[in-house]
A and B are shown apart, each in its own frame.
Chain A
Amino acid sequence: MSESPASGPGGTGVGRSVTREDGRVKVTGRAEFTFDVELPNMLHAAFVRSPYAHARILDIDTSAAEAIPGVHAVLTQADFPGTKFGDGVFDQTCLADDRVLFEGHFVAVVAAETKRQAAAAVQAVDVEYEPLTPVVDGEAAFSKDPPAVVHPDLHSYETAAVLPPTFVEDRPNVYQHYTVRHGDVEAGFEAADRVYEDTFRTAPIQHAPMEPHMAVAKPEGDGELTIWTSCQALHKIRHTTARILGKPAAKVRVIEPFVGGGFGGKESPLLEPIAGRLADVTGRPVRVVHSREEEFKNATISGEVRTTVKTGVTEDGDIVARKVEALLPGGGYSSTGFMVARNCTFGIGNSYSIPNLHVDTYAVYTNTPVTGSYRGFGNRQVLFALESQLDEIARDLDLDPIQLRRQNLLAEGEVTAFNEERTHVASGAILDELEANLPEPVAPEGPWTSGVGVALVNKYSLAPTASSAIVKVHPDSTIELRYSSDEIGQGSTTAMSQIVAEEFGVEPETVEIVRGDTAVTPFDQGSISSRSTFNMGNAVKMACADAKSELFEHAAETLEIPPEDLETSGGRVYPKGDPDAGIAIEEVFTKAIYESGYFLRRGGEIIGKDTWNVEAGDPEPGKIGRVNSFYSEGAAAVALSVNTETGEIRLDRLVGVFDVGKAINPKLVREQIIGAFSMGLAGALYEEMVYDQRSGRTVNANYSDYKIPTAHEHPFDIEPIFLELGHPEGPYGAKGIGEVPTVALIPAIANAVRDATGHRFSELPITPEDVVLAR
């Protein structure tokens, strides 16, 4: 269904840079986060954490802890239902089971009346460990005879019904092996004029959201729980938490206040089942939070990826064959890491046309913090490798880097290596726009040299997926939207208000938002994978259409005009094109006696509802099918300077070009690009989780030693350019933007450093130390 990016009948909502719906509450400190949820008689939780990366738990003596005044419960895994959970492999338990699998793994949890008592109780728990050899290095974990097998019972675990993982029989730590086979790479390499083979590595990093993971659970009596949580996949959290606790989903209500950042790290259950269990056991509300150190060690991180890429090209620069192998050391549980190993492959084949493509990715267990989804979902790491190599190929062939990319682009309608037909390809237009806006390198001065680099990337948005929405028309003509998209900072409530405003011809500020409560708001897959604008936007639009159709059915009776001839704006319903005729929405309702308000003569309420869903999967060989919802495409160009004495890297100017289909709110789109760039530069130049290779301990799990860039490290000369090329299926043509700038910026920075220093850095982050030592 083709949709030109034009406004609807109202023209009041979509395409305007409306100020944010949540602005006032956030600048006054009134916005409630899970951090702020406080209930009477609430208990505080604290965790006993393993000092070992791998050890057998021989005994846990909680008696001294339980005896501390104010302590209401001390739980170990034995106090939880034995249900294992996960995203693809059900390998995870709420607390450590018979073994601890990474340093910092939670072994026991206490709930006490004060934080101080909880901390004292933690100290009083006596755990007896039998240390085991940890496997820390990815290659070692991958081997057929690793130093440790993290999950010896791997083959007995339940796996997901949809897109289950693939194991490797003789490699006991592999929990996902994903393959892409397209054409004949060996023949391709034979036919190529030049073949390049390079290896790259990205460091593990952490989302470090401003609000760490936290949850508050309240027992409602009769086994029901209400859980407030800082998450980004409301219904998934509810569904899995209920399953883990052995309760019907209807008995677990999950409420999501404002979320202090997600970035991909909050889409799986973590503290919610623990809070729920504590609430059940103690009969009191319980607050469970991660300290910052616990956030580094116990929350998911974005794992290291080692990518080996072999590319064959003709002398003229046509890519004829490509083979990619990626190793993803995954931590102690598979979590969403198993999906990262699959989905990181999409980036490889969705910008360029590659006739022969083989990809093998392996995700392996290691005794380090659990890896999972992060902004870019594996594409960030793999495309750093591929776009870096492509830059080297351009140099070697003496070709312009943009031209090299341009001549290899996918064409509209082309079937990719994933057996998917690509409708709506934007990369050509993007490259043209980038080329017209390339930054100039700053003139060298003193010890500073400068360079420019570019990169072209894509970021898929996952499928299969679904979003539902409910729209209610109130007698006072307020339009209410009930939906579950997680507001993690991106401005979802504003953008969705604008869509409702557009559909009903009202001002966005008048739209009432009811958000994030599983008792009230219908299913959504989550604010993940850049999916919300596209999927929830469509669902909201459809629910509006449904609500309007009901509204018109009722109004038709009063107006005696067929419903299909009616339209609405400004709180009125009228014959199309004749707004002065018609009635106020209020007049569709009937006034009740005793000043009780208004009611609807039949049908209860005017409520529209609908679901938007995208069906997809891995197509059978030989068949063409849908793999993803859509692709965000984009390119970045970076001008930077390098101090040859100290190795400091100064970002001078960043340019990004991205197709968003249609900007529902142009200012929000611009801010998403700049924010995504922030995480890109952080991953390229600053952040790195460091593990002791012998013990597996995290060396820098704090904000002093883990370098999140401050305002000083950020460039202020950024030009975010977005194209509105209209995605055929997006609401008003819109699609997502949240991740692709992060993915694009990283290789562009690496390529600019190459240009400035003459040196190719194949590991991230690129630090001043790296630059100086490479001199």
Chain B
Amino acid sequence: MTDISLTVNGIEHEVDVDPTTPLADLLHDELGYKGTKQSCSTGICGACTVRIDGQARKSCLHMAGQVAGAEVQTVEGLETDGELSPIQAAFIDEFSFQCGFCTPGVLMSTAALLDENPDPDEDEIVDALHGNICRCTGYIAIVDGVKEAARRLQDE
């Protein structure tokens, strides 16, 4: 076991884990960030998407050792003091989810996108979401949610 320090949602963690542990397992099983799901565990579906140093990344394809010292954001880090972020509120109002299993990953890809590109067009949104598979929605409501989130963030 190796001591690894990483920051998650602004909170510093020190864990003693096998450094080849997938980050997704570390977050969900060890550190209790249950929002981060795994669906294919092979880096295709994007359900495990988190942000590492601001970038959208697939946490199932990162080893714990790789993120030592990094700042990770999970879906739990979107809200502030129990208040939903504009992205989350937009997703509720636009019905941008159904079963909800892909939703945390989609939210993190969205947060990363809107940080980099506050006013994306539809093509840019679809590009950003290419690595997030949703089996339920057909994506239209998700894209509507991202557009609404962009609007709300710009209004802030």
Contacts and interface: CB of A to CB of B under 8 A. Distances in A.
B92 interface: yes
Interface in A268-322: 291-292
A27 B135 contact: no
A711 B99 contact: no
Contacts of B131: 710
Given A19-B93, A711-B130, A711-B139, A31 B100 contact: yes
Interface stretch (B41-49, B51-59, B64-72, B112-120): B41-49
Interface string B114-146: 000000001000100111111111111111000
Specify which of B18, B45, B133, B136 lies most central, judged by the most chain A CB atoms within 10 Å of its CB: B136
A465 interface: no
B135 A291 contact: no
B71 to A, nearest CB: 18
For chain A, the bracket of interface size reads 35 or more
A24 interface: yes
B48 to A, nearest CB: 11
B26 interface: no
Contacts of A702: 40, 42, 44
Interface string A23-34: 111111111110
Interface in A648-675: 667-668, 671, 674-675
Interface string A447-491: 000000000000000000000000000000000000000001111
A29 B76 contact: yes
Contacts of B103: 26-27, 29
Given A28-B75, A36-B34, A711-B132, A674 B99 contact: no
B37 A210 contact: yes
B70 to A, nearest CB: 20
Interface stretch (A186-194, A256-264, A726-734): A256-264
B129 A28 contact: no
B100 A22 contact: yes
Contacts, number: 155
Interface in A636-694: 667-668, 671, 674-675, 677-679
Nearest to A665: B95
Contacts of B38: 35
B16 to A, nearest CB: 14
Contacts of B100: 22, 25-26, 31, 33, 258, 260, 489
B138 A678 contact: yes
A301 B132 CA distance: 23
A210 B102 contact: yes
A708 B91 contact: no
A718 interface: yes
Contacts of A571: none
A340 B73 CA distance: 45
Contact of B36 (A23, A29, A291, A679): A29
A385 interface: no
A716 B122 contact: yes
B30 to A, nearest CB: 11
B98 interface: yes
Contacts of B42: 292, 702-704
A712 B104 CA distance: 20
A674 B137 contact: yes
A208 interface: yes
A28 B138 contact: no
Nearest to A704: B44
A42 B79 CA distance: 30
Contacts of B36: 29
B47 A210 contact: yes
B138 A211 contact: no
A260 B34 contact: no
A210 to B, nearest CB: 4
A171 interface: no
Contacts of B47: 210
Contact of B37 (A19, A28, A260, A291): A260
Contact of A674 (B25, B102, B140): B140
Contacts of B18: 116
A675 B136 contact: yes
Contact of B133 (A115, A668, A679, A708): A708
Nearest to A31: B100
Nearest to A709: B133
A38 interface: yes
B135 A710 contact: no
A668 B95 contact: yes
B94 to A, nearest CB: 9
A209 interface: yes
Contacts of A212: 39
B107 interface: yes
Given A29-B74, A29-B104, A489 B99 contact: yes
B138 A292 contact: no
Given A28-B35, A491-B98, A671 B137 contact: yes
B138 A210 contact: no
Interface in A207-222: 208-212
29 contacts: A19-B93, A19-B95, A23-B92, A24-B84, A27-B91, A28-B76, A29-B74, A29-B76, A30-B35, A33-B37, A36-B28, A209-B135, A210-B133, A211-B37, A211-B39, A258-B99, A258-B100, A259-B99, A263-B135, A292-B40, A292-B41, A667-B95, A678-B139, A679-B135, A704-B42, A711-B130, A711-B139, A714-B138, A716-B140
Closest A-B pairs by Cβ, 4 of them: A29-B35, A489-B99, A260-B101, A26-B100
Interface of B: 18, 25, 28-29, 33-42, 44-45, 47, 74-76, 78-79, 84, 88, 91-93, 95, 97-104, 107, 122, 126, 129-143
Interface of A: 19-20, 22-33, 35-36, 38, 115-116, 208-212, 258-261, 263, 291-292, 488-491, 667-668, 671, 674-675, 677-679, 702-704, 708, 710-712, 714, 716, 718
Given A261-B135, A489-B98, A490-B98, 8 more contacts: A22-B100, A27-B75, A27-B84, A28-B78, A260-B100, A711-B132, A711-B134, A712-B126
